[in-house]
Amino acid sequence: MWMAATLALYGVGGATLVGSLKRLRQRFGLSKAKHRSLAGHARIARRVAALIPFYEYDEARFFCSDGAPPDVAARRQHGFERLSGLYGSRFAETIGKTAQAAESISDLQFTDAYRVPFQYRSYVSRRLPSAVFVEASDGVRISDLDGNRLYDVTGAYGANLFGYEFYKAAIDRAAARMRDLGPVLGPYHPVIIENVEMLKELSGLDEVSFHMSGTEAVMQAVRLARYHTRRSHLVRFCGAYHGWWGDVQPGVGNPLPAHETYTLRDMSPEALRVIGSRRNIACVLVNPLQALHPNASAPSDSSLIDSSRRGHFDKQAYTAWLRELRRVCTERNIVLIFDEVFVGFRVAVGGAQEYFGVRADLVTYGKTLGGGLPVGVVCGRHHLMKRFRDDRPADICLARGTFNSHPYVMAAMNEFLRHLQTPEARAVYSDIDRLWNDRARSLNERLRQARLPVAVSNLSSIWTVSYLRPCRYNWMLQYYLRSEGLALSWIGTGRLIFSLDYTEADFAAVADRFVAAAKAMQEDGWWWSAPALTDRSIKRTILREMLTHRLLPRSAAK
């Protein structure tokens, strides 16, 4: 009797051990599939972020935080003051209104605070204040309140694909078409039928749902994947942005941890192994814009503390990666979601699916698809889009939204989708990569010839600026660019977005101004460098400063 009990105990113990070993192996596999940067470790990143103390440089340190000698610091200060004077006279009214509005607009306070690394923040914002107001657009230029006409490379966060003139006309026509109906919500205007047909054709998928924003479209796509697979977890790749909903933003920025999200390394066989071996994965989310900077977050100048930021788009390698991902997802019945809110319609008429030649199960779109108005869309296969079960009437997957399918938005979307069908629009896409690659190459050549330590990389009309010499002041370029008449978004030089109506002459004007801005910055000494200054030494200095301020907050030298 006791013999049998002992054997049973051994059996249970053995099974527990095997189970534990398996869990340990899985845990180890997951660790290997994470990118080694903080962006790859959401929880740790959040904890580290909470420990970083605020401190700032006083005027003396501001100009020589990299150890530059006094003559260089003086040149920088002279250049900075000239720029500050120019801002004060050229953008006076726009700056005044911005300061007034910032007192009550929390978003403005946030974007203002995150334009440059925080050590320089207050000095910069006092002397080179933000000027966010505009009152007109005209071709590829926007006008501020002081009458300055700036070349727009914000791309309206990517929503401006065909040029502002196109969207102005689309919104006007949409409003005229819906005048008789007005904002009636709930019932549909028939224009929606045509939209659905065109979206099915473009996406190659069977059904469509409408939402108010890209974030909501992603929420719904993930919810549907969880509902139909009855699995809990989503996979996103390190650094990828999918909107600001908690589950797709598990790290810094979200006060709560996301328990059902795996953040894996982009373009990695270890990530494929995890996806191929876990049973709890409902979906894999891909933002194809990551192809320009795999495993790195959206490049913002507020994190431009050194020159390690890089962009490089390798279409072939990214295509091979997407194919592998597709294969593993198919094998494991995992829903592959392409989040094309940013790149959809920008890289090809049929979006990233067409551009990379890989099909997804669900695709999200937004931004430009609204024809200038806010929108989010999910396209998917029949069986994944269904929101109820025929055999379990109480088991539903809810998705609502008061303003979903707003008639004005549907009409503006219709203008956009109809335009996509025209020979004129198709012609724009026919040679799109060559055009934007040539433009990037020609600008890089000019920068190289002028011995400026700056280069651009691009995924079609989406560009990012890299810096080629170790430096702590690269973020200053955004201010020189504005003084030359280029309008950047608050992210700064991390992302320049061109609309497709940029002519050769418009582009040449932007390139001239870009080179002039970089030359002025070079002449003012910001890119001074000593052999001992490396990206690593810069990071070490900053770490030391942080530790000092953390441990000795009062006595820490500025």
Ligand X SMILES: Cc1ncc(COP(=O)(O)O)c(C=O)c1O
Q: Which residues of the shown chain bind ligand X in the complex (CB under 6 A)?
A: 157, 213-215, 218, 241-243, 287, 339, 341-342, 366
Q: With respect to ligand X, which residue has the nearer C-beta, 366 or 494? A: 366
Q: With respect to ligand X, which residue has the nearer C-beta, 344 or 470? A: 344
Q: Which residue is nearest to ligand X (CB)?
A: 214
Q: With respect to ligand X, which residue has the nearer C-beta, 346 or 472? A: 346
Residues 6+ apart with CB under 8 A from 447: 454, 455, 456, 514, 515, 518
Task: Report in angstroms how near the CB of residue 365 gets to ligand X at its nearest.
Answer: 9
Please name which of 452, 446, 463, 460 lies closest in space to residue 527, comparing C-alpha atoms.
452
Count Cβ atoms below 10 Å from residue 44 Cβ, excluding itself: 12
Q: With respect to ligand X, which residue has the nearer C-beta, 195 or 287? A: 287
Strand, coil or helix: what is 22?
helix
Q: With respect to ligand X, which residue has the nearer C-beta, 159 or 521? A: 159
Q: How far is CA 547 from the centre of its chain?
A: 30
What single string gives the DSSP state of each residue in 190-259? Answer: THHHHHHHHHHHHHT-SEEEEESSHHHHHHHHHHHHHHHHT--EEEEETT----S-GGG--STT-SS--T
Cα distances (Å, whole numbers) of residue 133 to 106, 112, 130, 390: 15, 13, 9, 52
C-alpha 99/C-alpha 95 separation (Å) is 6
Task: Report in angstroms how near the CB of residue 215 gets to ligand X at its nearest.
Answer: 3
Task: Report in angstroms how near the CB of residue 355 gets to ligand X at its nearest.
Answer: 15
Task: Report in angstroms how near the CB of residue 364 gets to ligand X at its nearest.
Answer: 7
φ, ψ of residue 472 in degrees (nearest 5): -95, -5
Count Cβ atoms below 10 Å from residue 48 Cβ, excluding itself: 13
Give me the sheet containing 496-497, strands edge to edge: 454-459, 462-467, 496-497
Residues 91, 146 contacting (CB under 8 angstroms)? yes
Q: With respect to ligand X, which residue has the nearer C-beta, 131 or 218? A: 218
C-alpha 281/C-alpha 429 separation (Å) is 36
φ, ψ of residue 78 in degrees (nearest 5): -60, -45
Task: Report in angstroms how near the CB of residue 58 gets to ligand X at its nearest.
Answer: 37
Amino acid at 345: F
Q: With respect to ligand X, which residue has the nearer C-beta, 216 or 524? A: 216
Task: Report in angstroms how near the CB of residue 503 gets to ligand X at its nearest.
Answer: 26
Task: Report in angstroms how near the CB of residue 329 gets to ligand X at its nearest.
Answer: 19
C-alpha 50/C-alpha 36 separation (Å) is 19
Task: At 257, list the tokens.
Answer: 């941890």
Task: Report in angstroms how near the CB of residue 295 gets to ligand X at its nearest.
Answer: 16
Q: With respect to ligand X, which residue has the nearer C-beta, 72 or 285? A: 285
Please name which of 297, 348, 255, 279 lies closest in space to residue 43, comparing C-alpha atoms.
255
Task: Report in angstroms how near the CB of residue 127 gets to ligand X at its nearest.
Answer: 30
Please name which of 529, 518, 526, 528 lies closest in space to residue 76, comparing C-alpha atoms.
526
Q: With respect to ligand X, which residue has the nearer C-beta, 10 or 157? A: 157
Residues 416, 408 contacting (CB under 8 angstroms)? no
Task: Report in angstroms how near the CB of residue 289 gets to ligand X at its nearest.
Answer: 6
Task: Report in angstroms how near the CB of residue 433 gets to ligand X at its nearest.
Answer: 20
Please name which of 115, 175, 95, 136 lies closest in space to residue 373, comparing C-alpha atoms.
175
Q: With respect to ligand X, which residue has the nearer C-beta, 119 or 213? A: 213
Task: Report in angstroms how near the CB of residue 292 gets to ligand X at its nearest.
Answer: 12
Please name which of 364, 374, 370, 358 lies closest in space to residue 341, comparing C-alpha atoms.
364
Q: With respect to ligand X, which residue has the nearer C-beta, 162 or 338? A: 338
Q: With respect to ligand X, which residue has the nearer C-beta, 99 or 252? A: 252
C-alpha 286/C-alpha 341 separation (Å) is 11
Task: Report in angstroms how near the CB of residue 411 gets to ligand X at its nearest.
Answer: 19
Residues 216, 339 contacting (CB under 8 angstroms)? no
Please name which of 221, 260, 230, 217 lies closest in space to residue 389, comparing C-alpha atoms.
230
Q: With respect to ligand X, which residue has the nearer C-beta, 41 or 236? A: 236
Task: Report in angstroms how near the CB of residue 343 gets to ligand X at its nearest.
Answer: 7
Length of the chain: 558
Strand, coil or helix: what is 440?
helix
Q: With respect to ligand X, which residue has the nearer C-beta, 76 or 293? A: 293
Q: How far is CA 420 from the centre of its chain?
A: 24
C-alpha 163/C-alpha 414 separation (Å) is 17
Residues 6+ apart with CB under 8 A from 10: none
